[in-house]
Amino acid sequence: MATLSDVARRAGVSPATASRVINGSSKPVTDELRERVLAAVAELQYVPNAHAQLLARSHRSAVGVIVHDVSDPYFAEITRGLQRVATDQGRLLMICNSYRDPDRELEYVELLRGHQVAALILAGSGYHDDAFTRQLNEKLAAYEATGGRVAVIGRHEHSGDAVMPDNRTGGYLAGRELCGLGHRAIGVVAGPRILTTTTDRLAGLRQALAEQGHDLPERRIRYAEFDRDGGAEAAARLLDADPELTAIMALNDSMAIGALATLRARSLAVPHRVSVVGFDDMPIARDVTPALTTVRLPLVDMGVRAMSLVLGAPAPAPRVEVLPAELIRRDTAGPAPDARRDTAGSAPRARRGDTAL
Amino acid sequence: MATLSDVARRAGVSPATASRVINGSSKPVTDELRERVLAAVAELQYVPNAHAQLLARSHRSAVGVIVHDVSDPYFAEITRGLQRVATDQGRLLMICNSYRDPDRELEYVELLRGHQVAALILAGSGYHDDAFTRQLNEKLAAYEATGGRVAVIGRHEHSGDAVMPDNRTGGYLAGRELCGLGHRAIGVVAGPRILTTTTDRLAGLRQALAEQGHDLPERRIRYAEFDRDGGAEAAARLLDADPELTAIMALNDSMAIGALATLRARSLAVPHRVSVVGFDDMPIARDVTPALTTVRLPLVDMGVRAMSLVLGAPAPAPRVEVLPAELIRRDTAGPAPDARRDTAGSAPRARRGDTAL
DNA sequence: TACCGCAGAGAAAGCCCTTTCCCGCAGGGA
DNA sequence: TCCCTGCGGGAAAGGGCTTTCTCTGCGGTA
């Protein structure tokens, strides 16, 4: 690889001058030298060594992001929001997938710190794991102590700036909807127990049921991976144990899609025999058939906010922005089969407009 | 941030010794000093400056990847394959999204070169744009001249190692299937004209139709963005122009899903009134209803191969690995409405097993 | 006892840039 | 004519790490 001094030598100038030309320094350089340098750069196909630059320059510019999995639509949307703000400010993003492995998360914090990122954003559920939480907080504190900025999305265990989707209210809205439709035998297809997202959403759901005088026994909950196959599997276990279920609440949309696959395989009509409600409103939710009734989270906005927090002026006290959840009624949630008798003859709810195109 | 010499000072050793302990150098260090260094590292929460390390070390280890968009399932799958091999070999991946912008692609090649990556992988369709192709090849050649390794996935314009999905045969298989089902009025929902993937798939399709004595007039093709909304829009334009279409070939699954949305909005039954065939077999294809008939590409394997090429021993001559496409029959392609009369009474094809769970 | 070899530690030379500091020179004012 | 100013350029000092080279002191052999 050609180096700066190769360029300087070829142009017959000092490395200092070459550097100034290449970086558009404010220090003036005569046109003749400038041209010679530029010509040398082109001839040698010179590209500055980014590591040497970052070492020599003092200011840090890149931002590190740790998500569970960018290819998961939930994180893809959040990342889109992060990216938008970062790009506007000319920041490079380093994105790392933890695949929900706490140890890997810790490692990535170190890695990104080592890469001298100006800020760090952790997105995705926290863990019910005190030892881990403590370690993470220590590492983040150490990072912040050296001037690094930190924000988290969707995890309350960190004491700094945070953007929090209102998971609990989301669960509540879904629960209220299902209760309102007359469902009593509601099964829950849940993500891993250890995730705070799981327990928060569950808590909201439980509260909604409690308000109607119902409870949510553990036997009506199945914990599995937070993805399509996990949802399919959990739904199957749920139905095996309790064939009379009239509704399934899936704690995210991927799981809901898996649950729909299970119901289809068992020829249980949705929503006539079993209703399904998802969570997150990922883009694909409107494209499955029937279109998925779900709880929308402003995912892109969550990313935008988090990046803005971290790139904006630091605050004296930690800021927490709670973003609202919203119920999106589509076609997978209908009246409970026995409740339907009361409203006999009423056709299943017409397809919602937002599913067309 | 604490530096290595901070650690050394605190441990009462030289930076050289500290470095040796921290990196597990083969040079022996007495246990006592080792412990002192480790203690200092822990107390200072020391993390080595990655840029300084990369600058000081001679060997390059990271691998750069340029894709159109990782959050697109097509690339997410490929990336999964890349990641698998890279992780096995302890390589870090730097992934960049070009968002199908050739200029950005060029910039990223420079960026990654600047970051001293050991290899570069470009995934995703090439462009029908000679100026761009020439520039890219120049840059890649310059990079290879300095010892960098390069592989491309799905683009034939680069002269080096390549992994090529058999887009043309895939198009051919889809075309033969539709012809076999009696379709003659076939519309195509195509990606951007400028992408070689579009033209390759189209060429295969055209060939299949030609073998049956049919042609594919331009008025039956609509070009749009290679995503869900592009597919929805193109399908709408296609149906507006020619309401008698009995089949739609979408040049990727995202577009197929958009086309299904349009058909649903217009109450055109799939596959009874209109058949749809997609391309790629992304994971979601089996979960839409009806499940999508499509052409499968071994996406993960493509990633695995490309990374293996680039991390393995260099070959004297460029290698091209062509990976086969395979037709996956599910539920969106059925007999053409007029052909159906011939097989009157035959129920629509039973749901394929692979859609259950 | 003299010498050799080696283990274990440190000194110092890079790796490739950026940027401050300094120098020479030409032009303008006194 | 002399001095000051300011412009354009180069020298050199880092930035934080790795690694080679060098040095010291010890045990072992002849």
If you ran DSSP here, which 8-state letter would residue A158 be given? Answer: S
Q: Which of B300, B256, B262, B310 is nearest to B121 (CA)?
A: B310
Find the CB nearest B55 among A51, A94, A114: A51
- B16: which 2 tokens? 């050289």
The residue assigned the tokens 């007359």 is: A182
CA atoms of B155 and B163, how far apart (whole Å):
8
Residues 6+ apart with CB under 8 A from A132: A102, A106
CATH architecture for segment(s) A167-296+327-339+346-355: 3-Layer(aba) Sandwich (3.40)
CATH assignment of B63-165+300-323?
3.40.50.2300
If you ran DSSP here, which 8-state letter would residue A214 be given? Answer: -
A213 pLDDT exceeds 50? yes
The residue assigned the tokens 């990079």 is: B143
- B185: which 2 tokens? 């009025």
Query: DSSP characters for A27-62?
Result: S---HHHHHHHHHHHHHHT----HHHHHHHS-----
Contact criterion met (CB < 8 Å) for A47 and B73: no
Q: What is the pLDDT of residue A356?
A: 29
CATH homologous superfamily of B4-56? lambda repressor-like DNA-binding domains (1.10.260.40)
The answer to whether strand D lies under 7 Å from the CB of residue A33 is yes
Mean pLDDT for the stretch of residues A86-104: 93
**B342/chain A closest Cα distance in angstroms:** 30
Q: What is the pLDDT of residue B58?
A: 77
Closest nucleotide to A14, Cα to C1': D10
Mean pLDDT for the stretch of residues A129-137: 95
pLDDT tens track for A305-347: 999 999 999 999 999 999 999 999 999 999 999 754 444 434 4
- A184: which 2 tokens? 């009593």
Q: In chain D, which nucleotides are within 7 Å of a protein Cβ? A: 7-12, 14-20
- Residues of chain A in contact with residue B95, where contact means CB-CB under 8 angstroms, are 95
Contact criterion met (CB < 8 Å) for B355 and A95: no
Contact criterion met (CB < 8 Å) for B228 and A289: no
The listed CATH number (3.40.50.2300, 3.30.70.20, 3.30.160.270, 1.25.40.20) that belongs to domain A63-165+300-325: 3.40.50.2300
Q: Which of B357, B289, B286 is nearest to A236 (CA)?
A: B357
Q: State the pLDDT confidence band at B156, using cuts at 50, 70 and 90.
A: confident
B63-165+300-323 shares the fold of B4-56: no
B161-165 and A320-323 as β-strands: parallel, antiparallel, unpaired? unpaired
Q: State the pLDDT confidence band at B346, using cuts at 50, 70 and 90.
A: very low
Contact criterion met (CB < 8 Å) for A48 and B114: yes
**A351/chain B closest Cα distance in angstroms:** 9
Sequence letter at residue A233? E
Percent over 90 (pLDDT), chain A = 89
pLDDT tens track for A264-300: 999 999 999 999 999 999 999 999 999 999 999 999 9
Please report, rounded to whole angstroms, the spatial distance between the CA atom of protein residue A127 and the C1' atom of nucleotide D16: 35
Cβ < 7 Å from strand D, B residues 48-107: 48-49, 52-53, 55-58
The listed CATH number (3.40.50.2300, 3.90.930.60, 3.40.50.300, 3.30.420.110) that belongs to domain B167-296+327-336+351-355: 3.40.50.2300
- Which helix or strand (DSSP H or E) is residue B144 part of? helix B130-145
Q: State the pLDDT confidence band at B158, using cuts at 50, 70 and 90.
A: confident
The answer to whether strand D lies under 7 Å from the CB of residue A30 is yes
Residue spans per domain, chain B = 4-56, 63-165+300-323, 167-296+327-336+351-355
Percent over 70 (pLDDT), chain B = 95
Mean pLDDT for the stretch of residues B114-132: 96
A198 pLDDT exceeds 60? yes
CA-based R_g, chain A, Å = 26
- pTM of the shown model: 0.89
Find the CB nearest B356 among A53, A265, A287: A265
A5-32 in b/e form (b: 16+ CB < 10 A) is ebbbebbebeeebbbbbbeeeeeebeee
SS (H, E, C) B247-301: EEEECCHHHHHHHHHHHHHCCCCCCCCCEEECCECCHHHHCCCCCCEEEECCHHH
